[in-house]
Structures are given as C-alpha cells and as structure tokens.
C-alpha cells in the first residue's frame, strides 16, 4: 500500500506544508484520501498525477469537519475534473453532525458558487464503526474534540488518529497495525502550559509527545508517524519531536514529508521510504 502525505499541518498552511490530507493507494487503480485539507492541491503535481492515471473513482474519508480537514473540497473541480468522488463523512452517533447538513453548509452559497448537489460528489454517511471502502475494511471510533472527530483504522495497514485528546483507549483501537499516524500537536512542556484562545488548556483538545509515546508503546505497532503539526514548527523541530517520541516509546518513528512515497506493508514487516 502506497502512502503519499499531501498535507501534514494542522490549522493553516505554513513552512511549505499544507493542512491535513493523505493519499493512500492500495493498488494502481484504487485511491483514497484521509481528510481533504489544502494538501489536496498536491494532486496536481505531475508525479502525483502520474500515479493516479488509472484511478477513476476517488474516495475521501473525513475525520471531522473543521476547515483544515475539509477546505480542499473547494478545489475538487480543479484537481479532480471529470472523475467520480465519493466522500465518506462521519455522522451520528460517531460525531455530533449530520454529513449532508455539514457539507451543504460548507459547499454552497454564499461560501461557494455551486450547490452540493451540483458537484460530481457522492456523499456516503459513516454512522457505524465498520465500513467497507474500496475493498478494504475501515473501522471508526468516536474521539473527544470540539465538534467531535473519529479515529480511522484501515485494515491492519494503518490507523489515522488526529484532532483528539490523548486517549489511552486509542492503543486498543490501533493495536497491531503496521503504521500508527497520530496527532502530536503539543510538546510535553506545551501540554503543561498552553492555553487556547477560548481559555481552555490545549491538552483538553489535542495530544502531546509523552502521552502519544505511551499510546504507541501499548498499541504494539511496527511504525509511528507524528501528524497534524503545529504550523509554526520548523522541519528541524518536527524531526526533533519525532526523535523524542522514538526514545520514549522504543518504536521506529517516521518524520513524514509531504510528497514523499512510503510503502506500508501488513504488520510485522517494515514500512519503507521511497525517495
């Protein structure tokens, strides 16, 4: 399975990084995106377009509806013209939202020149903890986050955990996957002292190094990758953060880079990086 990170930031694009979007290709003619942040524009890069030549139906799996995970839906008519898109969007009871209402609010006047039903976009609600998408079993788990979000597991290949408090139960949800991709928004020091604009401690909304390292250790995964980075972090700071997690959990850590290709195997094998 091929993984190409298209956007690894949270909040906003900065430091030559886009917001949350990950292209996953189980085969040369099958593809899906984990979230649809601004990174979706990287589908226009020639090397990525070449990978997708045989794909006629693109699946988008949303973790939640915040703009840093959905703003790329605005670009679909430009980055994926004349081909089908199926958006798998979480709904009750997994999250506190109705998929059609949420997406109609986002993709419609006055915020968008077209209406949702004018787009070549098929919406499928995700309301159960399991769903087959593109021939793979996906699992979903409710998470604690403002507006709520879901953790996503793709077979035994990977788990995608973003925009959530550090929840020890995530370890069981992700147990045994080859690659755990987990938000690491905060350093341990920031988790102790950072306050959000609304006065709420940042650790009540997001995850931090020490807690995620403990989750990774308990989940017994082969590889770990920190995601949903604070946009103001430099690439060197992200690398240091990854190294700190590796020291704490003992699991090999990948500092993902946008546009690079990663081969994700089934468990108990090693994911490899293609330069």
- Could you tell me the CATH number of the domain that includes residue 186? 3.60.15.10
State how far the Cα of 127 lies from the Cα of 62, in Å rounded to an integer: 12
Those residues with Cβ within 8 angstroms of residue 109's Cβ, 6 or more apart along the chain or in another chain: 115
On the CB side of 200, CA atoms within 13 Å amount to 9
Residues 6+ apart with CB under 8 A from 224: 179, 180, 181, 182, 216, 245, 246, 249, 251, 252, 253, 254
- Quick: pLDDT tens for 24-52: 999 999 999 999 999 999 999 999 999 99
pLDDT for 241 beyond 90: yes
Beta bridge partners of 180: 159, 224
Longest dimension (CA), the chain: 50
Confidence (pLDDT) at 274 = 44
Residue that has been written with the tokens 């886009």 in this structure:
18
Based on the number of CB atoms within 10 Å of its own CB, is 47 exposed (0-12), middle (13-18) or buried (19 or more)? Answer: exposed
What average pLDDT score do residues 17-28 get?
A: 97
Which pLDDT tens digit goes with each residue over 50-94? 999 999 999 999 999 999 999 999 999 999 998 999 999 999 999
**Mean of the per-residue pLDDT values for the chain?**
94
Give every CB contact of residue 51 below 8 A, 6+ residues apart in sequence: 2, 4, 23, 25, 28
Give dist(CA 95, CA 249) in Å, integer: 30
Q: What is the pLDDT of residues 181-212, one digit of tens each?
A: 999 999 999 998 888 888 888 888 899 999 99
- What 3-state class would DSSP assign to 236? helix
C-alpha torsion 101→124→183→24, nearest 10: -140
Give per-residue pLDDT as tens, 122-153: 999 999 999 999 999 999 999 999 989 999 99
Phi, psi of 189 (to 5 degrees): -65, -45
Boundaries of domain holding 243: 2-274
Residue 275 has pLDDT above 70, yes or no: no
* Domains in the chain, number: 1
Query: Residue 268: what pLDDT?
Result: 65
């Amino acid at each position: 399975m091929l993984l190409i990170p298209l956007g690894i930031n949270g909040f906003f694009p900065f430091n030559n990084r886009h917001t949350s979007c990950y292209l996953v290709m189980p085969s040369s003619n099958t593809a899906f995106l984990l979230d649809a942040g601004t990174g979706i524009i990287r589908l226009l890069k020639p090397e990525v377009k070449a990978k997708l030549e045989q794909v006629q139906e693109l699946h988008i799996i949303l973790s939640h509806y915040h703009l840093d995970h959905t703003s790329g839906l605005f670009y679909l008519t430009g980055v994926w013209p004349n081909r089908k898109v199926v958006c798998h969007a979480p709904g009750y009871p997994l999250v506190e939202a109705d998929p059609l209402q949420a997406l109609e609010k986002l993709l419609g006047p006055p915020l968008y020149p077209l209406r949702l039903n004018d787009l070549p976009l098929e919406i499928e609600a995700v309301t159960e903890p399991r769903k087959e998408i593109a021939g793979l079993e996906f699992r979903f788990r409710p998470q604690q986050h403002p507006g709520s979000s879901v953790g996503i597991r793709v077979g035994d290949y990977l788990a995608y955990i973003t925009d959530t408090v550090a929840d020890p139960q995530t370890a069981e949800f992700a147990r045994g996957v080859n690659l755990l991709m987990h938000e690491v928004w905060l350093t341990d020091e920031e988790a102790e002292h950072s306050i959000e604009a609304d006065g709420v401690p940042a650790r009540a909304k997001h995850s931090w190094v020490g807690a995620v390292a403990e989750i990774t250790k308990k989940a017994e995964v082969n590889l770990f990758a920190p995601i949903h980075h604070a946009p103001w972090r430099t690439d060197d700071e992200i690398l240091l953060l990854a190294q700190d997690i590796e020291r704490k959990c003992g699991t090999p850590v990948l500092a993902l880079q946008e546009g690079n290709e990663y081969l994700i195997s089934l468990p108990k094998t090693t994911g490899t990086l293609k330069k």
